[in-house]
Amino acid sequence: MIPELTPGQVVFVAGPVSSGKTFLLRLWAMAQERVVFFDTAGDHIDETNFEHIWASPSLLLERLERAAGEAQYKICYHPQDIDSGFEWTVTGVWQLDHPRFLFIEEVHELMSPQEQHPKMKLLNKYARKREALGVITCSQRIADVHKDLTSAARMCVLFKTDESRDLDSIGERWGSEVESAVRNLRPLQYNDATREVLQKPQAVFIKRGVFNLDGQKNWEVINVE
């Protein structure tokens, strides 16, 4: 059973295409009452449970203003320009004062090793202090994401990968045991035509400040279901 999300957390999820990360994000999003997706890659355009807003910051802000008085909403924003679209998305979500979750796809576009978007730096440092705002970030490549994000995240989730650069990054950030565990995870098997999950994946869940009963490890392999 996957861990529940906690408002105020920053979470990082990583895995290559068809590894299971989008499957996990959907499970998490469906379990929450208030969700905003910043969908740069169009991974969620077919989600019928979301209200979709396309390349219009004004419509997005107008919708988020109405959301302030709502007990439930699921909004998916598809930007035309990533930088300005993210600026407006964070501005709108930041103003809300109830527990809510902002899901960010392709976070390496906003927090690469070379450059950090100002709003992403803001979220990474202060989201936990902003009225129970949870931030769930996602990327295909760990090596393409700034270490400030993975070091600040209260929970990191790693799906199976065979990419040598990513495995090296995992070893550098979390140690050789975690690197070995990621190599040996059970992968997702998925039928794109029927959208049927043929085999549910495993992932390594790493939690800062939380230790297993042996007092040594702060990570475990969990079936994503």
Q: pLDDT-based confidence at 127, cuts 50/70/90?
A: confident
**Domains defined for the chain, CATH in brackets:** 10-163 (3.40.50.300)
CB 13 within 8 A of CB 201: no
Q: Residues 175-197: what's their mean pLDDT?
A: 90
Interval 142-180: pLDDT, tens = 999 999 999 999 999 999 999 999 999 999 999 999 999
Q: What is the pLDDT of residues 34-86, one digit of tens each?
A: 999 999 988 888 889 999 999 999 999 999 999 999 999 999 999 999 999 99
